[in-house]
Amino acid sequence: MSDVSGKPMGSRSAGAPLIVSVGDLIDEIAVRLTAPWRRGSDAAAQITRRRGGSAANVAVAAAASGGRAIFFGAIGSDATGDTLEAALRASGVEPILQRAGRSPSIIVVVEPDGERTMLPDRGVATSLQYPGPALLSGADWLHAPAYSLIGEPLASTTLRLLREANAAGIPTSLDASSVGALAEWGPEESRSRFAASGATHLFANEEEAEYLDLLHRPIPGPTLIVKRGAGVAEVRTADGETLASSAADPLGGAIDSTGAGDAFAGGLLVARARGASWEDALRAGHHAARVHLQRQGGV
């Protein structure tokens, strides 16, 4: 945790910090092309099915990084939902789920150079209702992707939880998620919504930071964490001052980077909630991302 100067503060609870993540838990079908895409014809591919969803990825990474993690979201009352819930539990995450209807799913196409295209069907994910204040009991951090601000009642639920966390002194974070998602609002409306959310921290990758002009026009309020994959991640104050930076260890070959940014966030949040410096928290984020890539078979 941190005060307004960016200095670390101690965890609110004894033992491993508790990270609560709100948003999507998705049945993910990954299509990794082994040859260039040929529209209207065949392209050789390796196809795998796995648990996905940005908020769920953060929770799994937080648990893998030695924290305690709760995922809160809506999934279907179907066999797919059963599989998704079991996958979270097997990863050490406590799922608090609202279940009805059809589970969310997504197809992720990974081209030979690692470029990804995502085709989401959010199913019942946006139906998430406010759970009551007990969800945040004992929490050390509340995290949500920008996806959780899109669709109702999910968006209202997420904003209410952010307000309650802030009022209780619990650090909060949003992830900008993707330029494709933000295009629904446009850059200025996205900036306005992020500022109004009251989140104390904002994650963005290089493309999202450029789209929102975050490096030249910081959003008032949140500390900015810029994720650059294999590049140099950095932390900036709401005034644009650089607090810390850290480069990731290089990885060879084309990789499926799906979820690596979420894993980075999960590792960083656990470290920061433990009172780590920003430099150490960035290194913890890089480590969590690397572990994720290794488990995913990308390295």
Q: Find the mean pLDDT for residues 274-281.
A: 96
Distances (CA, A) of 262 to 143, 168, 247: 11, 25, 17
User: Once rounded to an integer, what is the mean pLDDT over residues 1-30?
Assistant: 68
Kind of pairing, strands 201-205 and 172-175?
parallel
Q: Which residue has the tokens 């294999």?
A: 230
What Å distances lie between residue 25 and 73, 74, 76, CA to CA?
7, 7, 10
**More reliable by pLDDT, 5 or 237:** 237
Q: Averaged over 155-176, what is the pLDDT?
A: 98
Average pLDDT over every residue of 148-162: 97
The Cα 214–Cα 130 span in angstroms is 31
Residue 90 pairs in a beta bridge with none
Q: What is the pLDDT of residue 253?
A: 54
Classify 18-296 by CATH class: alpha beta
| pLDDT tens digits, 52-81 | 999 999 999 999 999 999 999 999 999 999
pLDDT at 222 over 80: yes
Of 172 and 117, the structure prediction assigns the larger pLDDT to: 172
Please state, in angstroms and rounded to a whole number, the distance separating the CA atoms of residues 76 and 34: 32
pLDDT score at 183: 94
pLDDT in tens, 124-147: 999 999 999 999 999 999 999 999
Task: Calculate mean pLDDT across residues 29-49.
Answer: 87
Percent of the chain whose predicted confidence (pLDDT) is above 70: 91
**297: pLDDT strictly greater than 60:** no
